[in-house]
Structure 1
Amino acid sequence: MADKPVPLTPEGREKLQKELDYLVSVKRPEVAEAIHSAKEEGDISENSAYDAAKEQQAFIEGRILQIEQMLKNAAIIETQAWTGVVVLGSKVKVVEKGSKDEEDYQIVGPAEADPAKGRISNESPVGRALMGKKKGDQVVVKTPAGERQLKLIEVK
Structure 2
Amino acid sequence: MKLLTDEMGINSPSLYAEFGDKHGLYLEAINSYASNDACTPLVALESIPEIEQAVRAFFEAVIDYSTHHASGAKGCFLVSCVATSAGHVEGTAELLRDAIASTDKRIAARFEQEVSLGKLPKNFPCADRAKLMFDLRQGMVFRARAGFSDEQLARDIDKNVKSVLANPEG
State the TM-score, normalized to the length of structure 1. Answer: 0.25
User: Greater share of helix residues, 1 or 2?
Assistant: 2
Larger radius of gyration: 1
State the TM-score, normalized to the length of structure 2. Answer: 0.23
